[in-house]
Amino acid sequence: MRSVLNDRRIPEAEPAPYHGPVLHDGPGPNRAPDRNGTGVRRTARPLYTPEQRARRDATVWTLVQGILAPVQFLVFLVSLALVARFLLTGEGQFAADTSVVAKTLTLYTIMVTGAVWEKVVFGKYLFADAFFWEDAVSMIVIALHTAYMVMLLGDLGTVGERMAVALAAYATYVVNAGQFVWKLRMARLQGDGARPAGLAAA
């Protein structure tokens, strides 16, 4: 009797069957997708080639951009405060207009010097592959600042409308600055430095 009982083994519970596709890391239709969804593992492209990095480190325009970027950001903060004060209180229109003009002239300066820097490092004045989308948004920033100047000098629209254009320009500037800050962070993670313009093109 004991031997018979010993031969009767209680069957182990089997896991519920899985009817979905089996994902794996090898080639084939059931390969687990990567983050880009293409099934191809991709490494981050370095921001600079060794030659571009050498040119970046050697040119004086790198220092110029590194100085102008925080200067422009400081002008932006002061101007934003003056524009907000005018819109909230109705006082200080001249100071607000003057500050936006100063911000616009700073923007033009940093865009010209930034284009020269890009030409020296990448061989193109604008839209180098490494900064294509940053430069594209920068064009919108320039267009809005220029629209403000046209309204001011041509006495077009109301003061409120002119200040609204200035605020739109500043909002786009912040977005563009964020693009460059993010690019700087990504480049540092790669063990490199990003475009010294940083906030320059915005």
Residue 60 carries which side chain, given as an amino acid letter? V
Mean pLDDT of 106-121: 95
H helix and E strand count, the chain: 6, 0
Half-sphere exposure of 123 (CA within 13 A, CB side): 5
Q: How far apart are CA 43 and CA 88, in angstroms?
A: 50
Q: What is the mean pLDDT of the chain?
A: 81
Q: Is 22 left (phi over 0), alpha (psi -120 to 50) or beta?
A: beta
| Cα dihedral 130, 133, 139, 145 sign | negative
Residues 199 and 68: their CA atoms lie apart, in Å, by 9
What percent of the chain is predicted at pLDDT more than 70? 71
Comparing 23-32, 41-50, 73-82, the range with the smallest average pLDDT is 23-32
Beta bridge mates, 24 = 31
pTM over 0.85: no
What is the reported pLDDT for 95? 97
Q: Tell me 40's DSSP state.
A: -
